[in-house]
Amino acid sequence: MIDFTYDIIIVGAGHAGCEAAAAAAHLGSKTLLITMDMNTIAQMSCNPAVGGIAKGQIVREIDAMGGEMGIVTDLSAIQFRMLNQSKGPAMWSPRSQSDRKQFIQNWIKRLTQIDNLTIWQDTVTELIIKDKHVCGVKTQLGIEMKARAVVLTNGTFLGGLMHFGKTKLEGGRIAEKASYGLTKQLALLGFETDRMKTGTPARIDKRSIDFSVLTEQQGDNTWHGFSFLPNINRVLPQQSCWITYTNPRTHECLRTHLDDSPLYNGQIKSIGPRYCPSIETKIVTFADKDAHQIFLEPEGVNSNEYYVNGFSSSLPWDVQWEALRTIQGLENVVLYRPGYAIEYDFFAPTQLHHSLETKLIQNLFFAGQINGTTGYEEAAGQGLMAGVNAHLKINGSEPLILHRDESYIGVLIDDLVNKGVDEPYRMFTSRAEYRILLRQDNADARLTEKAAEIGLVNDHRLQVWKKKKAYIEQLTHILTQTTIHPKDVNPWLEQIGTSPLSQTCKAHELLLRPQVTLNDLSEHIVEIKQTIDTFGTTAEEVSEATEIELKYAGYIRREKQEADKLYRLERITLPEDIDYTGILSLSTEARQKLQRITPRTIGDASRIPGVSPNDISVLLVLRGR
């Protein structure tokens, strides 16, 4: 007889669930991952791509901590680009187009090779709760499964309702059923719940696209990737994306049918994403624009399916088809399936601790879209942390909390817990106060040793980082000690448009010039070139990291000082049993929000909307500081 007793049960095998399950199992917990369909594990429900502005940094952080998403993405990549390279390195963001099917298969392969991890295909309909502790789950097959902790990562499946114009279909994704029961149970337990909306564009047949009139967008042919592991590389043939635009004819076609749009006829009442609007929202919000950019993105190496990025819609299928045919290159387009909007249940994330454990039920954790976020990367980051903290909780250890100056994942979770959401939360670099510290190149420097302390990072990955760290220190030493003579570099300096040297200087001083790169400098200084050549396959990565640290040392140092000042507030804890309603010197809004959110520290309280500096002063007096 099967023993359905586990340390941790993960409900849902999307991006959050997969990372949660992998992390918990890697740490040694006997883990069960329950999914409604084993063939759609880590399904890329919308765009077949990973990363992007700030999102790419999250994936690098996941990888630095021993997570799986970066590895799977590199192995599934069909186009890689480093975005924002015309700006400073704090803004550089990796993005990778993925082969959708290979992404799933690579995830399944990774999961099935992890010790302590079992996968079960079923639907969870109820949580088993005793004395405000979760003890397991009940499934649609009538099975009771026991666990010491449960992580819910249900994505868009809780009460999922899809909209194709006036046609409504129940489901968490197209052709996949929704999940019912959990929302009602959690609401009865006192959880605050609401509805959100997201959407996806049509998928079209490659053979019906006229590529000759489109603008090609190729990927970067560089060493960059998502994983810090040197043995993980892109292996699939690289593909191009293509650019076209809507036009006044497109907009007129869409505008004529707005009465059929669930977004505008009152059919959808839930909260939609501001930063990923539907095409009908674009033509209304930006009525003065004659054109909107459209990216045609391949779904895979062996697939004719293309994703119409920028044309998300819930209009009737025939309206979508008619509008698409007004776009250059798509005059004869053939649909595989139309776009649609989907509404689903979520729970206010202010009901969570920073560990992502719920405040109402012990050992119950939420991660992903159930917390009001949008995006694979945001979900995966939460999943990793929920899996880690579920393991730590049942083993009597303190939770792993990442601070805002340590990671984008820390910014994400802190925003959710302290501020809540009034629309689907999406990560941007602008949300991070310390983005010069939180670069994509240094995620391993920030997080690998921290993750190793709790056993999340294996010895191989830790040694990879320590070797890179030693190389960076060695190269930094060479650059600060090597003397540059004018005669060796002046012809080159004049050639690249910067002033020649009038006297000797150290190499790192010359590197501070905007026109000078470490790669070019090494071609003129033998000692530097010889040092870099000893780094083998990691030479380019080490060079980039070293150059950034030296070029931006002043900015980095200043931002660290600012972070240290504010960190004082993070060390002043607040008791969980404070009755804020009785502290009359606080503003009414502050009393209400502090009582509802129960912040962990003064720093957390300072980031709650509606809590003023005066309210913080009151709390500091209360704590005797």
Residue 625 scores a pLDDT above 70: no
What pLDDT score was predicted for residue 411? 96
**C-alpha 304 chain-centroid distance:** 28
Residue 13 scores a pLDDT above 80: yes
Q: What is the mean pLDDT of residues 67-94?
A: 97
Helices (H), 95-232: 100-112, 182-188
What pLDDT score was predicted for residue 623? 80
CA-based R_g, the chain, Å: 26
Strand partners, 305: 205
State the Cα–Cα distance between residues 108 and 111, nearest whole angstrom.
5
Residue 306 scores a pLDDT above 60: yes
Q: What is the mean pLDDT of residues 593-620?
A: 92
Q: Which two tokens stand for residue 455?
A: 């056993």
Element (H, E) at 243: strand 241-245
Element (H, E) at 485: none
Question: Which pLDDT band holds residue 1 (cuts at 50, 70, 90)?
Answer: low
Q: What percent of the chain has pLDDT above 70? A: 100
Q: Residues 456, 114: contact at Cβ < 8 Å?
A: no
Question: Which pLDDT band holds residue 328 (cuts at 50, 70, 90)?
Answer: very high
Residue 94 scores a pLDDT above 90: yes
Q: What percent of the chain has pLDDT above 90? A: 94
Look up the pTM and report it.
Answer: 0.95
Q: What is the pLDDT of residues 432-444, one digit of tens each?
A: 999 999 999 999 9
What pLDDT score was predicted for residue 571? 86
Q: What is the mean pLDDT of residues 214-218?
A: 98
Q: Residues 3, 143: contact at Cβ < 8 Å?
A: no
Q: What is the mean pLDDT of residues 231-256?
A: 97
The residue behind tokens 């490659």 is 206
What pLDDT score was predicted for residue 342? 96
Dihedral sign for Cα atoms in the order 461, 75, 28, 600: positive
State the Cα–Cα distance between residues 216 and 209, nearest whole angstrom.
13
Q: Which two tokens stand for residue 390?
A: 């579920």
Q: What is the mean pLDDT of residues 392-400?
A: 98
What are the backbone dihedrals phi and psi of residue 69, each rounded to the nearest 5 degrees, phi first?
-60, -40
What pLDDT score was predicted for residue 622? 83
Q: What is the pLDDT of residues 550-561, one digit of tens each?
A: 999 999 999 999
Q: What is the pLDDT of residues 145-169, one digit of tens each?
A: 999 999 999 999 999 999 999 999 9
Q: Residues 295, 243: contact at Cβ < 8 Å?
A: yes
Cβ of 291: how many Cβ atoms within 10 Å? 13
Q: Which two tokens stand for residue 161?
A: 């309702």
DSSP notation for 596-614: HH--SBHHHHHTSTT--HH
Question: Which pLDDT band holds residue 44 (cuts at 50, 70, 90)?
Answer: very high
What pLDDT score was predicted for residue 272? 83
Higher pLDDT, 624 or 496: 496
Residue 273 scores a pLDDT above 90: no
Strand partners, 312: 201
What pLDDT score was predicted for residue 6? 98
Q: What is the pLDDT of residues 473-531, one digit of tens each?
A: 999 999 999 999 999 999 999 999 999 999 999 999 999 999 999 999 999 999 999 99
The residue behind tokens 């040197």 is 230
Return the HEC string of 11-68.
ECCCHHHHHHHHHHHHCCCCEEEEECCHHHCCCCCCCCEEECCCHHHHHHHHHHCCCC
Q: How does the average pLDDT of the chain come out, rounded?
A: 96
